[in-house]
Structure formats: C-alpha cells, structure tokens
Structure 1
Amino acid sequence: MGARSRLAELLSKAPTDSRAVEFEESWWHWGALRSTARGLDASLTEAGLGEGTRVGVVLENRPEHLAVVCSVLATGRCVVTLNPLQPPERLAADIARSGLSVVVASPGTLDDESVLGAVTGTGLGLRLEPDGSLEPAGGSPRPDAETAVGVSIEMLTSGTTGPPKRVRLLDRQFDTALESSGQSPKKGALLRSGVSLVTTPLVHIGGLWSALSGLYAGRRLVLLRRFALESWVRAVERHRPPAAGLVPAALRTVLDAAVPPERLSSLRVVTCGTTYCPPELADAFFRAYGARVLMTYGATEFAGAVAAWTLPLHKRWWDTKAGSAGRPLPGVEMRVVADDGTEAALGDVGRLEIRTAQSPDGSGAWVRTSDLARLDVDGFVWIHGRADDAIIRGGFKVQPDQVRRALERHPAVHEAAVAALPDARLGHVPVAAVEPRPGCTPPTAQELTMSCREVLAPYEIPAHILVVDALPRTPSSKVSRVELLDLVRASLAAGGAA
C-alpha cells in the first residue's frame, strides 16, 4: 500500500479515541488528527486547490502540524516544507520565492509582519491554531502557481555547507523507501502496539521520515519539540521502547549526563543517522547502556536511508567493521568509480554511485553522490567524506575529515569541525572550531596546533582554531559550517583567532 493511501485509510478508519501522538505528555487521538486533516482539505477544496497543489507548511514539531502533513499527502497534494527555525527575514524570503498557492503556519509564525506579508503576498495564508483548527490569515491563491502532481514532498536539505536547497521526493520514491525499510503495516491490522520516538525536526528528512514511517506502520508516536535530555529519558521510561533514534550529538549528551542505565534499560538498539558517528562513541554507548548503535547512511534525495547496520549484522561484524556505514538496503546497489568514471576495485576510494528505485531518476539509473567511499569484499560501505568538501590550499588538497580526526585526538577535545575559509592568496585555507570535553580544562589553540603537527602535513594544519563552548548546529544537529565560518570571521575581525 502506498503512503498516500495508507494515510488516507488511517484518517478515515482509525478509531476516534485511539491514541495517536503524545506531545508534552498529553495525547492527541486519531479523532483530533482527523478533524484537523478534514478542516484543511475543506479549506483547500473551497479555494479551488486540488490534487497536485503545493502546500507550504511552516513545519513545527507539534501534533497539529503533523495532522496537516498527513492531510496534504492523503488528498494527493504536495507538502513543501518551510523551516520555522530560521530567522523571520530568511523565512519570509524563502516563502516569497517559493511560488506557493497556500501557506499554513502557526499564530506565532504569522505574528511576524515580514512573514505574514510574504505569505499573503504570494498566496493564501491559513493560521493553524494549537487545537488544530484553521483560520484564514489573508491573501488569496495565486492563479499561476506551479503544481506538483506525483510529488509527495519538497523537502529541505540540512544546509550544513551552504544555503539549504529543496529536493522533490516523488510518490514512488517515498513508497519504495517505506517498503525497503520494513515499515509496512501488518496485514489486516490498522494499528499496532509500540511507539516511535521522534526527537529531530520534522522540517528535515530524518524527523519527517521517523514520524511518517511510524504512522504508516500503525504505531503511536511520541513527538518532542526538540531533543531535550530529561524529556527524552522520561519518554523512554514511560513507554519502554526496545528501539530509539538519536543523532551523534544526542548520544554524547546522554553519555556526558551519565544517565543511570536502569532508566534506559528497555533499549536494545539505537539507530543513528544524519551525520558521521565515531565508532568509539557508539562503543561507549553500548558499554554504558547495552544498546547497540546502528548507523544508517542516506540522503534527502533518496527519501531516506540506502545503507544501514541491522542487529544481526552488528552482532556478527561490528568488531571488524566498526566505522562502516553498514550494507546497502534491499533493492539498493552501490559502486565506487574513479575520476574517469571507471569502476574502482574493491577497497579503493572514489565517488559513490547508487542505483535504487528510491532515486529520483528511477531504478535503472546510477546516481553519482557527493560522497567519497569504498566497498569491501563483505559488502560493507565506508564513507570517507565528501568529494566537494576538499579544501584546495595553494594547490594542495586538504580533506576536512582528516583534520577533524587529528583535532579530536587531543584528550580535552569533545568534538571538532573544519571548514574552508576563502583566502586571497591561497584560494582557501582550513579553519576549525573545537568543543572541549566536559570536566576538562579547555585546550589552547597553540596546543591543538602542536598536536595536529604530529599527524598532519603542514598545509593540512588549520590556519585558525577556535575553542567554543558549543559547536554551531543545524536543526538536524549537524555542525553548521556556515555558522562556523561566521564565528571565525568574527574572531578574526576582533583579533582573537589563533
């Protein structure tokens, strides 16, 4: 069953009093989700906005927002995600250039004059109240708005290296991704036991995938506004899930807080995606809590994961394959190619190409990614950074991931990040920021430079190193290189960088 028809089935047939989404320790039942979904469909139909309409949603981690997404998908329209976590002027600019017929947003978002002006200037505005009701916010549908029949979602990428871009996810991509992940509902069952914990932003693929795949399977959801340690731990204690998902930064937070193991004793596995997870971090979590950390690898363009660890793989291979991104999922083929496009030998590093029905180009096309990778004889894929991440410093190539690992060798460094700073003479130079390990005396930039000299070539050593309280992050908890460069520039302007 496709995602659209499955959501339509749930919205029409799920018992009104069945629990659907827990938010701030209170439940939204299927009846409440149905009411919001039907209210939106009625408003859009009355405005003449039918199948294929691109519906902008300033998407917050709230039940009524999830109900809107379900309604849009169930009625054959297209969800266009708009990020509420960006400053109002950037959100307004995104809305203004989006060419949308309609935008749905919360009262708090529409209270900003620049955002409201952008919404009503481009199309119809609908105010989504906390109780799930909808009210007109001004404007009218634009008659020349583009439609997107056959497109489920226009999803923002994470924007770690530059401005986020919007990627179209076709119906068949999303359906294939759900099927390959093993999330299909049990035959003949509308709902099932168990819960899914959703802690990452719905506006990015990781959070929205977690929520929609959980609903698709018929499970209840626990939806958090964001990852907050105590709220997440209480949710685990209340619902006793055997599995949960955490990004690497959240894994570190749990470990650093020394959460008592008995509070997380139900967990058997923790899936970890969005960005690279150091094997030593995964091992530390396993030793502390007995939950195996299963890494996943994917991209917005593929509507989710295309490679992953499973529990059986972890039990058999982790000791010898730690650091791998796992094996390709069923229906996914991978190969590595050299610069001239020829297929590389097993074990050689090159550009990763993927062939899958989750691809926007169809199941027969090889899609070249931006990632450098290698494949081994046992079918595991190893990611070696991004091909477009290489920093060319005066003709020398610097791999940021290699510099990051060198910085993280220092015992007082909790996490490091590296970015390319434009330089008039050399083209670009590597710069870095490090977050100190809790309980340790923060290292100096000079100490870090000396440590790097032990393992890096002179041209690989960062030109500037900042020691910060916390690394800047995107809403999906990836380190934001854009903001990192802003911090470096500010420090240089103040004469404070190393």
Structure 2
Amino acid sequence: MTEPTELSYTHGTSTTPLLGDTIGANLDRAIAAYPEREALVDVESGRRWTYTEFGAAVDEVALGLLAKGVRKGDRVGIWAVNCPEWVLVQYATARIGAIMVNINPAYRAHELQYVLKQAGISLLVASLAHKTSDYRSLVDQVRGGCPELRETVYIADPTWDAFTAGAASVPQDRLASLAGELSCDDPVNIQYTSGTTGFPKGATLSHHNILNNGYWVGRTIGYTEQDRVCLPVPFYHCFGMVMGNLGATSHGACIVIPAPSFDPRATLEAVQQERCTSLYGVPTMFIAELNLPGFADYDLSSLRTGIMAGSPCPVEVMKRVVGEMHMEQVSICYGMTETSPVSLQTRMDDDLEHRTGTVGRVLPHIEVKIVDPATGVTLPRGAAGELCTRGYSVMLGYWNEPEKTAEAVDTGRWMHTGDLALMREDGYVEIVGRIKDMIIRGGENIYPREIEEFLYAHPKIADVQVVGVPHERYGEEVLACVIPRDPADPPTLEELRAFCEGQLAHYKIPSRLQTLDAFPMTVSGKVRKIELRERFAEPV
C-alpha cells in the first residue's frame, strides 16, 4: 500500500491565546506597563510622545470626535500622508467605536467621492495637500455628491485646533463608559482594496482582526518595549497601520515616522538618529535606500530586524539588507488587506533561501491551504494552485457588498486570495504569481516571478517586471520591463535573450524588452502590472 500524499494544508498552533481586547483596552495595557517609554516620534517635526502622553493625545482626539457628534459605528475618513495626527485618529476612533476609513492619499476627486459616498463618511480628517493635490479644493468639488459628509477637519490648520479644543466640552469619563459598550468583534476599520477592474471594495476589519494580526507579526520578530520601528510605508495601508502601528503598541515599542511619504534619505537618517531596531518597506524601497549615494556613511548598526512585504525580494537585495543594513532577523510577510493582512511569515532564524524563495509559513491561529482553482480540491504538496486562508484574520466582509464578499469568502469561511502558490514539504509557501498575472503562451503556463528572479542577476538590470502581452499566434508573449543600472547603457533584447539562453526554457525567454525610468506603482509600493500590460499591449 502506498503512503498517502501529504496535502497542501497547514495550521498554526500555539499555546499563547489570541488577544480578546479592543484596540483601546490594549493601548491602556501598554500605557500602564510602559508609561515613560516613547510611543511615537515624528522626525520631521521633532514631536515625540511617551506612552502616557500618547494616551492623553488619543483621548483628546476621541473626545473631539464625540463633541462633533461621532458615535459608535459612524464612519470617520482619514485622507492624509503619514503624520502623528493619522496615528491619533486611528486609536481615537477605536476608543469610541467609530469606524475609521482609510483613503488613499493619491485619490483624485472621482475616487474620493466614490469612497466618501460608499462608506457613508460623516466626518473627514484630511491633510491640506499631497504632491500636486490641493485636498481642500478636491473636497469642495465633491461635497455636493456626498450628502452624509457633515464636516472636514484639516491637519495643521485652524480647523484641527478647533476640533481638539472641542474635547474640553465632553466629560472625560464618557470614554470609560463607552469602553464598556465595545466588543472586540465590532468593525473598526474599512480599507479600500486597489480595484484593477471596476471600483475598489471596502474590506471591513474588526478590532480582533487587526489587533491580533499586528500583535502576532510583532511577536514573530521578537518585539519588546526596547524596539523602535521605523515606518516609511504608508499608514493608509495595512502594512503601516496594522503591522507597523498596532505591531508596535501591542508590545510597548515605539513608532518612528521618518517623513510624510517615502524618502530613502529621510528613512536612513531616521534610523541613524532614532537608533531604530526595525525597518519596514517593500523591496523597491530597500533598493532605493541601498542605491542612495553615501549609503555606506549611515550608521545603521542599531537595526536587527524589519519586515519586507508587498512583492518578492530578489536574492541579491536580501543579501545586502542582511549584510549591509545589519537586519540579520529581517522577515518576509505575505498577506492581503482582506486578511488583516498577514497569513504567512518567515521566522527570525530562517536561512537566505527561505527568505527569498518563500513567503514563510503560517502564523499561529491561522490555516492555509492550496486548492485547484477550478474544483476547490486541496492539492498535494508541491503542486501549484490558489492560496486560501482562514482564521481570526479574515475580514468581516466588503462594506455593503454581500455579493462581492461571497465571491471572495466561501461558505467554509476560506478567503480566496487569487494568488498562485505551492506548499513545500516543510510547510513553507512559494508564491508563483497571481492567477490573473500568469502568462499563457501557446498553452504553456509561465509564472513571471521565475523569470524576474533570474533576470535580477543580469549586470545591467537594477529592477525588472515581467508581464504577458497579446500575441497573434501564441495568445501571449513575454515582455520584460527593465530599469537599467546605467541609463546610458541599457541592456538590449539580444543581450537579454543571450543571457537566458540555455538557462530558461525557450518559451519563457522574453521576446520583447521595454526600458523604463520607473515602474507605475500603487501608493503601498506594489508595481501595477496591469498598467504595464495595457501600456505595452501593442509593440512600439
């Protein structure tokens, strides 16, 4: 009788229970345990708060919201770059049971109006401007189409000062009485996923979802009250506000904001000045930091760990992050907004191959499986299929969209990620692509990640993205979009093909090459492959 094949299913066991707190109650625990330790530092403005001071500032904003008539379940929008006020609004809304709605700072009027209306936002907190966007003007443009929007408060503006001054009109003990009315299963956050087709969907997340996920991500990389976490990633995304902010405060660590938006120089200066022990980023951020003129002059010796997520990390980049940035315990995380976000994470002592060849193994209290996308049947280990995840981290649903929720979360409460993956014998998972990114050339399935990983080793290539574009005969062909190391000496298609010859199967070798200065990116740092496909669908 043959041995049964082990299936691509695993679950994270732990003797440590999940947290049953609300976010406000958990913050109170940190304040009581670490009253004089720093909780938040804003490098640009020089402002800093101990946990006691941070708690008082959160309470002031919470009382200000109550003074404005915000009640449990009301939606409060936050449309701002990274700043201390963003963090205060995050914890203040959680304190009173309001639902904070994260709005992408890059949104223009049409997108802003959609989110304000779809979420039913009654109060909006906004920056005054971001890059070329005048936020006050954009809000004025859409206000007429958003009947539920009562008021907008602007950060670094007299409206913010008036808003916080309003806190004095509400008795402080209102917060304690409200705390007794909140459940950890209440919705506390709506995050809009980047819609590649149609409008974005609002993933609705509870205290239990995001507090536990931040806690377990931080626990997995050994956070204590000694840690100082540098966050150049955007707060509007789970990476910043869950893995960053909640990951820090649930362990008594310090949140360090290096700049309002990503700046490689400001990031390295913040690590050096604040003696940060942890640094977050997507691979393109780490690449920008490593390639910064004078990189070697920064003292990064305080770093020990950090998180890289958002897209696969090239081996050479990981070697430099570990060796030159002192991040020996750097961790790779995999997740999605709808799962709060992290399901899989590498461990502090994993080797280089596991940190670059996989996205880690399942976190405690979570299940993952790999299924046949057509049948839903769990596949044997080593076979590629759709990655599904289940557990405390799966969202409550898409806000006011039950049909869309049912398409993503099945009757067994499994979240279908849309990612193609395979599970190794040791339980570690490799992402081989998005189901929709897979290239099908003449009947052959091609996973862009494999080709990208190979091309990263080309001496003339700094960064590369591979996409499928239409081809009359084969259905699709392979296009390599590259950012050259030296813009004056980019690789030619002939050089690229010669580099691949004998190393990759012939059908995987790019037949088209496009040289770019930069890739189109989402605000959270992911490359917009769909835009590359659309832009270069026709040969130039």
Q: TM-score under structure 2 normalisation? A: 0.76
Matched letter for residue 520 of structure 2: P
Matched, 1:310 2:353: no
Q: What corresponds to 1:376 in structure 2?
A: 424
Matched letter for residue 458 of structure 2: H
Q: What corresponds to 2:438 in structure 1?
A: 390
Partner of residue 237 from structure 1, selected from 249, 252, 272: 272
Whole-angstrom CA distance in 1 between matches of 2:325 and 2:67: 53
Deviation at 1:169, TM superposition (A): 1.2
Matched, 1:331 2:365: yes
Matched letter for residue 127 of structure 1: V
- Which deviates further from its counterpart, 379-388 or 362-371? 362-371
Matched, 1:126 2:152: yes
Change in Cα spacing, 1:471 to 1:8, as seen in structure 2 (3 Å) is same
- RMSD, matched Cα: 3.7
Deviation at 1:80, TM superposition (A): 0.8
Q: For 1:50, what is the secondary structure of its paired residue?
A: coil
Matched, 1:54 2:75: yes
Deviation at 1:200, TM superposition (A): 0.5
Contact 2:211 2:246 in 1 (8 A): no
Q: What corresponds to 1:465 in structure 2?
A: 513
Matched, 1:476 2:514: no
Deviation at 1:4, TM superposition (A): 3.2
Deviation at 1:119, TM superposition (A): 3.6
User: Which structure 1 residue ranges, 5 or more long, are not aligned?
Assistant: 137-147
What is the number of residues matched between the two proteins?
A: 473
Contact 1:33 1:64 in 2 (8 A): no
Whole-angstrom CA distance in 2 between matches of 1:97 and 1:322: 39
Matched letter for residue 211 of structure 2: D
Q: TM-score under structure 1 normalisation? A: 0.82
Matched letter for residue 240 of structure 1: R
Whole-angstrom CA distance in 1 between matches of 2:372 and 2:227: 45
Whole-angstrom CA distance in 2 between matches of 1:256 and 1:3: 38
Q: What corresponds to 1:24 in structure 2?
A: 44
Deviation at 1:441, TM superposition (A): 1.9
Residue correspondence of structure 1 range 24-423 to structure 2 within 5 A = 24=44, 26-29=46-49, 37=58, 40-42=61-63, 44-108=65-129, 111-119=135-143, 121-122=145-146, 123-130=149-156, 132-134=160-162, 150-158=186-194, 164-182=200-218, 192-209=225-242, 210-223=244-257, 224-257=259-292, 259-260=295-296, 263-292=299-328, 293-312=330-349, 314=350, 317-318=351-352, 322-339=356-373, 340-360=375-395, 365-393=413-441, 395-421=443-469
Change in Cα spacing, 1:261 to 1:458, as seen in structure 2 (3 Å) is same
Contact 1:28 1:63 in 2 (8 A): no
Deviation at 1:82, TM superposition (A): 0.8
Change in Cα spacing, 1:98 to 1:454, as seen in structure 2 (3 Å) is farther
Q: For 1:227, what is the secondary structure of its paired residue?
A: coil
The Cα offsets for residues 221-273 of structure 1, whole Å up to 9 and x where unpaired, read as 21122232221222122222332223211222232236227611122223211
Deviation at 1:89, TM superposition (A): 4.4
Matched letter for residue 129 of structure 1: I
Contact 1:7 1:216 in 2 (8 A): yes
Deviation at 1:299, TM superposition (A): 1.6
The Cα offsets for residues 141-163 of structure 1, whole Å up to 9 and x where unpaired, read as xxxxxxx9821211133567986
Contact 2:357 2:430 in 1 (8 A): yes
Contact 1:247 1:273 in 2 (8 A): yes
Whole-angstrom CA distance in 1 between matches of 2:56 and 2:277: 32
Q: What percent identity do the matched residue pairs reach?
A: 26
Change in Cα spacing, 1:63 to 1:452, as seen in structure 2 (3 Å) is same
Change in Cα spacing, 1:165 to 1:128, as seen in structure 2 (3 Å) is same
Whole-angstrom CA distance in 2 between matches of 1:154 and 1:276: 26
Whole-angstrom CA distance in 1 between matches of 2:68 and 2:185: 18
Matched letter for residue 402 of structure 1: E
Q: For 2:41, what is the secondary structure of its paired residue?
A: strand
Q: What corresponds to 1:140 in structure 2?
A: none
